Chain A
């Protein structure tokens, strides 16, 4: 199992050929109180960098981009029912969707956890 991050503050946790995607602790803190989240439909094919989900805080709307290409296999119903779990547990219970990787080589361009934490702490 490996964890990667993007410069747009998504995380992606890879297990075999499937991966789980969400937004980082840093991202939820910057957004503030989250009041709405919408995950992509199961079966949808996403390109790397494509808008995949929407998250809205009291202050603003943001897009969540897919860190890699693949087909959506599962959407988290809990974030629609109670978006505040994205604030309380962004890198756990507050995940957005799972996808089947189209090209595992795309992971190579992402940041590992240590690099991301270091980089985002300086923003």
Chain B
């Protein structure tokens, strides 16, 4: 299989639409994608207070079908899928046989099938893994003809409800089939910003029509990858290839919420021996969030040290938080140093920065959860 990086950059279905709106295009995950329009700070804050429109059509949309697709997926994913209700989403992880994370993903039960959204940079490898390792008879359909838009922010619901009546009744991590005008759309109440919001899968040919319809509201602005990254960092959400990789397990990554009770009791997923042992004994290293003193951002790759100057880990994501107006980050540290309020020292380009472990998210989630 050809490496994604060797191929010519692909264009999104909305490529011309982004350029017409001043999108600054950069290479990302094998695509030319908008990193910003008016500016990352403004776009970030707009999403937190109104509604931001993101084009995430680079992500892989897969439909997994076959007899007992739930049981089949459970051999590679540690999440509870057999009992997942129709139209419900679950955050899960594609694991290698050593329990390392090949990708993180969202799986939705759609009848007997599962609609799975994976990261853009890893989608071709994921498909190859799924086709090779899922039980015979399980079929992986890469829905290349689908675009994916996300509308995120506290005003997203009123904008989308006007176009797709009924979406306001969805609760966080549920989805369903709707129409936006005459365009069929699969819409879920989910996202990657920590805000209430929706992800909207439509045919690539209709993406522009849907984007234009959303942009007719003065509450909506287009948002680029730059703000997508700072929003997810504030929300404490890991980014694959940075905060997660094949050397990290769900326990190290502090994603144990994604391993439900029955799966812990029964195992039966890739790397279960190691992961269940880590659940019991604790991992050697753990992903934590931290705040940094001063104003200078400390970025991916910076060393993390304990009080005596011993290296205990590395920063995996770091930047300036537009909402908190201070530098924040996440990284891996020895588990003994992972408790909130632990003092750390970071080193970047020879300069030392005092930091403190804090609970994540940095900015509270505002999901529209089911009551009761």
Contacts and interface: CB of A to CB of B under 8 A. Distances in A.
Interface of A: 32-33, 35-36, 38, 54, 56-59, 61, 80, 83
B295 A32 contact: no
Interface in B131-171: none
A61 B226 contact: no
A59 B296 contact: no
Specify which of A36, A54, A80, A83 lies most central, judged by the most chain B CB atoms within 10 Å of its CB: A36
A35 B297 contact: yes
A58 B234 CA distance: 13
Top 10 closest pairs, chain A to chain B, by CB: A35-B320, A33-B41, A58-B40, A36-B296, A36-B295, A33-B39, A33-B40, A56-B297, A58-B320, A32-B40
Contacts of B39: 32-33
A61 B296 CA distance: 9
Contact of A58 (B226, B295, B296): B226
B35 interface: yes
A83 B349 CA distance: 21
Nearest to B40: A58
Q: How large is the interface on B (under 10, 10 to 19, 20 to 34, 35 or more residues)?
A: 10 to 19
17 contacts: A32-B36, A32-B40, A32-B226, A33-B42, A35-B41, A36-B320, A38-B296, A56-B296, A56-B297, A56-B320, A57-B40, A58-B41, A58-B230, A58-B319, A58-B320, A59-B226, A80-B295
B264 to A, nearest CB: 39
Given A35-B41, A59-B35, 19 more contacts: A32-B36, A32-B40, A32-B226, A33-B39, A33-B40, A35-B295, A36-B297, A54-B296, A56-B296, A56-B320, A57-B40, A58-B41, A58-B226, A58-B230, A58-B320, A59-B40, A61-B297, A80-B295, A83-B295
Contacts of B349: 61
B299 interface: yes
B70 to A, nearest CB: 41
B322 interface: yes
A57 B229 CA distance: 14
